[in-house]
Chains A and B, each alone.
Chain A
């Protein structure tokens, strides 16, 4: 068990920068998820922690020790790969025990550890099989088992669920969470799937273009994104972003979204936003669940408006309605019974206490 620290970590492939200076402290036992679009540098960062990529600049510390020049086998880490990387000629038992056998751990000890890991993962009856006799989910479990038996300082996961179908992915996600609750090993997990990131992580690290955009607990990232990128990346369907103007009016502030539609800024946000009144290139952000059907009474901060519905997507427990505001497509989440048909006009309310204001020129949330 150990903490992992990244200090001004940089990686260049020839002249192309992949990671542009990352600082991150991962305390012992924490489950950290690196998430971002493909090419954001998350996998490269993970591979530098593993020792599979050289560090161009900066430091990787595991357990307080700089490991930049240490080969992977001396770092005491275990890694689960996207395509499992099981040894095809070995049985499950041999796969799981390979690392221990190389370390010349006594046979009884190996058997004990493999049995224990097999029990955690419920693969006890598969130990004599070869990888090709296993399903995708079972192979993934074996790959995790191979990591667990080593009892390493750090677990590294490189998009372990991307090869599984949707249903199995949800199941394995829960499985991984359970395993972490049992073994409490410091974990760095890479994914491009923000749902995986939100559900698994103690802390999520959102990366973009080789840099960290924001680090925080899943709910903090969701409700208080620091940048436009995080606001639009976390959450599904994505946050609605609409160009807007901030206008002073009768002591308060109003957000103008189009000629017809303007919404009052809640009083508690006025002081925070006042300096930005009249600025060009502002974006108004509101998540779909904060645009709902109009109900008999309005909560404070809720502002009614009317919209012509273009597309209706029934999801079962809710229905997504899409409409246009000044050319921008906007999504709302309404009760299935309340949703109008396509082309109909519908009375909706926007919860402005949950609004975000983004400076599009800097990408920062104001």
Chain B
């Protein structure tokens, strides 16, 4: 009786697994089509001359492929400036974010002090306030700084180094609190008994063990500062002070004339650095470094 029942049961499990797989693939394919269509369209358009973009032809095909859009951008001093500004802002923001978030997350996750749980929640709540609500108050603050200390913050590319951490620090701190909290408490205790202080515990145990989380946070911070549009739009106006997203928008759209080919090429080139970062750091993302720390 039991022998008869067993194969039937495993057969139904196989069927379950198969139908689960079929549905997974169905939705994955749907996602891939949905998310890859725009970049493919961008790529096709970026290879067209302005004349071909304007002509009434099949928009999904290039009849006279050309690299003139790319050439024009790469040798344009404006585009180079935007790129360098964006790169400097993003790198510095990532560094500043990590320098603040890692110790903050460590303190909030491990040093139980009065109000630490509330503070951790508060950190997260600040992330929920949208930037659209903040840029006018920030404008006021910068004006006050200008009046009081005679420091002009507005219309400098580096103002973003001051503003972007308000977006990146709360979120990065929050995800790292989660990572640090998942590290077994016995590891700290073993380190304490081995003679480590809190700083050594952080640098020699927590940072290496939580590296996947730190890399996830790094990717997030980089992507946010590379792609943010509203703050640079609000706080920079001269062409030489702009970052990539606002630079493309303000130099390649003149009145109602859209240089579509160049816009698409600029956006694709602009998407390269985050893409490369994802590609190189993805392995760390996946690596389960905590395996084997405790009973596994």
Contacts and interface: CB of A to CB of B under 8 A. Distances in A.
A87 B296 contact: no
B30 interface: no
B291 A132 contact: yes
A83 B196 contact: no
Size bin of chain B's contact surface: 20 to 34
A73 B293 contact: no
Nearest to A98: B194
Contacts of B190: 79, 81, 85-87, 146
A150 to B, nearest CB: 8
B40 to A, nearest CB: 41
B295 A163 contact: yes
Interface stretch (B21-29, B181-189, B258-266): B181-189
A139 to B, nearest CB: 8
Contacts of B11: none
Contacts of B292: 86, 88, 130-134, 139
Contacts of B295: 83-84, 136, 163
Most A CB contacts (10 A, CB to CB) among B211, B291, B296 go to B296
A163 B197 CA distance: 29
Interface in A51-80: 51-52, 71-73, 77-79
A249 interface: no
B209 A85 contact: no
A87 B196 CA distance: 13
Interface residues of A, number: 32
B67 interface: no
A275 interface: no
A51 B194 CA distance: 12
Contact of A88 (B192, B195, B197, B289): B289
Contacts of B211: 89
B294 interface: yes
Contacts of A83: 184, 186, 294-295
Most B CB contacts (10 A, CB to CB) among A71, A88, A133 go to A88
Contacts of B187: 85, 87
When A and B form their complex, which 4 residue pairs have the shortest distance between CB atoms, in order from nearest?
A: A132-B292, A85-B186, A83-B294, A99-B194
8 contacts: A50-B193, A73-B197, A85-B293, A130-B292, A132-B296, A133-B292, A146-B194, A163-B295
